[in-house]
Amino acid sequence: MKQIKPTTRRSIAFYLMIAPWLLVFLSFSLFPLVYGFYLSFTNYFGFNLEDLSLVGLKNYQNVFSDKDAMGALGRTFLFAVINVPLGTVIALSLALLLNHNIRGRGVFRTIFYIPSIMPAIVTTMMWKNILFTGNGGILDRIIGVFGLGPVNWLGYDYALFSLILMSSWGAGGGILIYLAGLKGVPDELYESAAIDGASYMQRLFRITLPLLTPVIFFNVLMGIIGTLQQYLQPILLAGDQLLARPIKPIYLYVVHAFQQIFANQRFAYGMALLWVLFIITLLLTLVVFKTSRLWVFYEDGGD
């Protein structure tokens, strides 16, 4: 009997070990992705698998002729333009503060991190109580101390602000990553700069931030992807049901796709909406990657 080579045995062992993950990935990730792409070219509405027919690019043409879809896409871009830079500044600023050797910093790190691991439903329900219109809302009670009247935080004028405020509250995940990045900055650089008489702000802008740009790049990229995909918070802010339709300022793109698929039973059109978002996200990711060479600094000089 021919003996199996050691390299072949290692390969067999490797594929056996990854087989459970590979089966799950193929069954619950790759297959739904490919099948959803196929359905986006059909007339599928949820109950006609037996008589599916191809409709070509009709669903994709409907995406760009749908005023609700284009309006939701514009609001999603506006939300991303505000939320991503704001979240980056908040997370980075808090990480810089928590990086100092102060008493109880472990407690503060935990306090700031906890919101990022709370379920979105719990977070949204809590913020609805904070933003509740009238004297029952916590935020209205706070501003009432200063003689200001109640504000309809979930109304047309302030709904987007409330969504941004709620999203910024969960910056703890970014704080944790920034803290890990700050630990990678060599102390010798700070010591040399201090000997040369550099101030804190000079050390911050000449040492800390340049060496932290790979971490900033990662967080910005993940922030863009996450913001473009946001849908649960606007829906829950609109009501207590998953099929509730948010008011226009927080009617985001994925919310529109969700409504089309589950409320209107337009599955094929919903798949087309999501694939358009995938392409947009991919293009934005490529732009961020291409422009990163202009502002991301690597110690080894790599791109």
pLDDT tens per residue, range 44-69: 988 888 888 999 999 999 999 999 99
What mean pLDDT comes out for the span 144-155? 82
Q: Could you give the percent of the chain with pLDDT greater than 90?
A: 53
Answer with the residue of higher pLDDT: 242 or 55: 55
Alpha-helix runs per DSSP H in the chain: 6-25, 31-39, 58-65, 67-98, 105-117, 120-131, 138-144, 159-169, 172-183, 187-195, 200-203, 209-228, 232-238, 253-258, 267-292
Fold annotation for 60-292? MetI-like fold (1.10.3720)
CB atoms within 10 A of CB 91: 26
Burial of residue 234, with CB atoms counted within 10 A of its CB: 0-12 exposed, 13-18 middle, 19 or more buried: buried
Q: CA 250 to CA 233: how far, in whole Å?
A: 9
How confident is the model over 69-102, as pLDDT tens digits? 999 999 999 999 999 999 999 999 999 999 988 8
How confident is the model over 158-203, as pLDDT tens digits? 899 999 999 988 888 899 999 999 998 888 988 899 888 899 899 9
Alpha-helix runs per DSSP H in 149-208: 159-169, 172-183, 187-195, 200-203
CB atoms within 10 A of CB 146: 6
Q: Could you give the percent of the chain with pLDDT greater than 70?
A: 95
Kindly state the DSSP code that residue 246 receives in the 8-state scheme.
P
Residue 156's pLDDT band, with cuts at 50, 70 and 90, is confident
Domain ranges of the chain: 60-292
